[in-house]
Amino acid sequence: MEPLGNPRPYSVCITRNKNCPQNCEYAKYFPYKLQCQYESANELFGTPNIIKMMRHAPEEKKQILATSIIMEGNAWTKDPISGGFGVMQKIMWK
């Protein structure tokens, strides 16, 4: 008999308090090792909105979208006033 779900649920499944299925569609985009970074993105966008964005994105762009979601969440955690725009300004000023 196979165990139910994954031994370490993925970030999206953790925040949704759901059992993570073996073939979780978010596994490759939001792995367990990115849990603390996903929490920042979850505070900014919310898990339902992240899921909507991922469902509407074309398959070839989903990895780019997931990376952008994580980076934007991190940017807002580091700079709650300017967020991603502030990061871009700092890069341009250097």
Q: CA-CA distance, 12 to 6, in Å (whole number)?
A: 13
Domain carrying residue 56 = 11-93
Spatial neighbors of 68 by CB under 8 A, at least 6 apart, are: none
> Does 5 reside within a domain?
no
| Tens digit of each residue's pLDDT (9 = 90 or more) over 13-24 | 777 666 777 777
> Does 83 reside within a domain?
yes
> pLDDT value at position 57?
93
Instruction: Inform me whether the pLDDT recorded for 5 exceeds 60.
Output: no
Give the pLDDT band of residue 1 (cuts 50, 70, 90): very low
pTM for this entry: 0.77
Q: CA-CA distance, 37 to 54, in Å (whole number)?
A: 17
The mean pLDDT of 33-55, rounded to a whole number, is 89
Q: How many domains does the chain have?
A: 1
> Does 6 reside within a domain?
no
